[in-house]
Amino acid sequence: MLLPGDGIGPEICAGLQPVLAAADGRFGLGLSLETAEVGLAALERTGTTFLVAVLEAARRSDGIILGPLSTYDYPPAGEGGVNASAAFRKELDLYANLRPARSRPGVASSAPDMDLVVVRENTEGFYADRTMFAGSGEFMPTADLALALRKVSREGSARIARQACELAMRRSKRLTIVHKANVLKLTDGLFYQTVRQVAEEYPAIEADEALVDAAASLLVRQPSRFDVIVTTNMFGDILSNLTAELSGGLGLAGSLNAGDRHAMAQASHGSAPDIAGRDVANPSSLILAAAMLFDWLGRRNDAPDLCRAAAAIEAAVDAQLSEPDERTRDLGGRLGTQAFAQAVADRLAEGVA
């Protein structure tokens, strides 16, 4: 299911479609693409940014691809301004946010040897819309006092730990637990202890830990120290943006929100309304996110063609990025959104990547 969203979302989703078609044609995937409105277009037409019918259609689909959302421009949720991304994460229990950060050949990077994944807990933490069964985890007892509640559960910590450990087993078997248990002794303490216990079930994994402030410093100074990072929701949100920028920019960073039964691909960046409609946005992040969704579906359903398609999409993006003039303008190239995406699709269809 494809949901274009706001700002540059419709443009990068339009660019994604020939890439999906090329993957389908080359690997015989039998794809069927359903599209629906979320965000400001849906608000104008229906009075809400997120219809229940869209949620139910997404629940029936094999996978979801969600474009960027301009949530800052939405009215309050009670007036129709529902954050579709947060709603999907909560309603479909997409508890793991997987954020790879890998430097790309020929693309300028502050960390040319970076190749890691941040595994971020996605349904708890300090996020006010995910903390409470009813109501908000953020409130103001008086006009001059604002409070926020943080939720960390043993179950939530254990299941994100298993996701991280399974990923580490497929990579270099190195896991770093990032926390702040020296200050947040109960919440981060519970998270750290639980992840440690789960990691002990994987004796092949070399697990260590780092305080979040130290981890941020080490990511800048020595990114090769890390391979799989597992951490809580807000720390993961911040660190994954840092790693994306260090490896080449948010425009090159895919993102997958996954649970046990559903997964949703998203670009790591925002909706960039200032460049919407100009055919200059870089679609790489969403293309790479779609590849992550294919890989997730392939592993879950024992469908190796989906995994091969995922690898081929990523290779096609890398091959296109390796030619400086054939990139989008944010990376010094001459191509617009649609031309870049079509070039990736052509490489994929021809099997040259």
For residue 335, list its beta bridge partners.
328
In the prediction, which pLDDT does 135 show?
82
Q: How far, in Å, are 14, 23, 64, 309 from residue 20 at the CA level? A: 10, 5, 13, 9
In a domain, 265, yes or no: yes
Looking at the structure of the chain, the number of domains it has is 2
In the prediction, which pLDDT does 85 show?
95
For 139, phi and psi rounded to 5 degrees? -155, 165
Last residue in a domain, options 247, 279, 307: 247
In the prediction, which pLDDT does 353 show?
58
In a domain, 182, yes or no: yes
Q: At 205, list the tokens.
A: 């994994």
In a domain, 104, yes or no: no
Same domain flag for 114 and 241: yes
Mean pLDDT of 219-226: 96
In the prediction, which pLDDT does 14 show?
98
Q: At 325, list the tokens.
A: 């003039």
In the prediction, which pLDDT does 133 show?
79
Same domain flag for 21 and 131: no
Q: Which amino acid is at 349?
A: A
In a domain, 235, yes or no: yes
In a domain, 101, yes or no: no
In the prediction, which pLDDT does 129 show?
75
What share of the chain in percent tops pLDDT 70?
A: 99
Same domain flag for 236 and 318: no
Mean pLDDT of 130-159: 91
pTM of the model: 0.94
Mean pLDDT of 199-219: 98
Secondary structure letter of residue 279 according to DSSP = S
Q: Report how far residue 35's alpha carbon sits from residue 267's, in angstroms, rounded to the nearest whole number.
A: 17
Q: Report how far residue 306's alpha carbon sits from residue 311's, in angstroms, rounded to the nearest whole number.
A: 9
Question: What integer best gives the mean pLDDT of the chain?
Answer: 96
Nearest-CA neighbor of 291 among 63, 9, 88? 63
Same domain flag for 115 and 233: yes
Mean pLDDT of 265-281: 95
Same domain flag for 339 and 307: yes
Same domain flag for 126 and 242: yes
Span 1-58, pLDDT tens digits:
999 999 999 999 999 999 999 999 999 999 999 999 999 999 999 999 999 999 999 9
In the prediction, which pLDDT does 106 show?
87
Mean pLDDT of 152-164: 98
Span 232-260, pLDDT tens digits:
999 999 999 999 999 999 999 999 999 99
Same domain flag for 89 and 115: no
In the prediction, which pLDDT does 27 show?
97
In a domain, 103, yes or no: no
Q: Residue 221's domain is classified under what CATH number?
A: 3.40.718.10
In a domain, 203, yes or no: yes
Please give the residue range of the domain that contains residue 312: 1-95+255-353
